[in-house]
Amino acid sequence: MDLVMKPWKTLQKQNILETPVFKIRKIQRTSAQSGATGSFYTLETPDWVNVVAITPDEQLVLIHQYRHGVDAITLEIPGGMVDPGEDPARTAARELREETGYTGETPILIGTVAPNPAIQTNRCHTYLIRNVRSTADLELEEFEEIETLTRPISEVPEMVRYGEIDHALVLNALYWYALWQKADQSEEK
Q: Which amino acid is at 130?
A: R
175 and 109 co-located in one domain = yes
Q: What is the C-alpha R_g of the chain?
A: 19
pLDDT values of the chain reduced to their tens digit, one per residue, 189 residues: 677 889 999 999 999 999 999 999 999 999 999 999 999 999 999 999 999 999 999 999 999 999 999 999 999 999 999 999 999 999 999 999 999 999 999 999 999 999 999 999 999 999 999 999 999 999 988 899 999 999 999 999 999 999 999 999 999 999 999 999 998 777 766
32 and 54 co-located in one domain = no
For residues 43 and 18, what is the distance between their CA atoms, to the nearest angstrom? 10
75 and 105 co-located in one domain = yes
38 and 114 co-located in one domain = no
23 and 62 co-located in one domain = no
26 and 106 co-located in one domain = no
- Tell me what pLDDT residue 149 has: 97
- Tell me what pLDDT residue 187 has: 73
Give the residue among 113, 145, 141, 117 at the shortest CA–CA distance from 127: 113
163 and 70 co-located in one domain = yes
91 and 53 co-located in one domain = yes
**Residue 103, domain member (yes or no):** yes
37 and 73 co-located in one domain = no
**Residue 139, domain member (yes or no):** yes
Enclosing domain of residue 17: 9-44
**Residue 1, domain member (yes or no):** no
91 and 134 co-located in one domain = yes
What is the pTM assigned to this prediction? 0.92
165 and 182 co-located in one domain = yes
**Residue 176, domain member (yes or no):** yes
Per the structure, the count of domains in the chain is 2
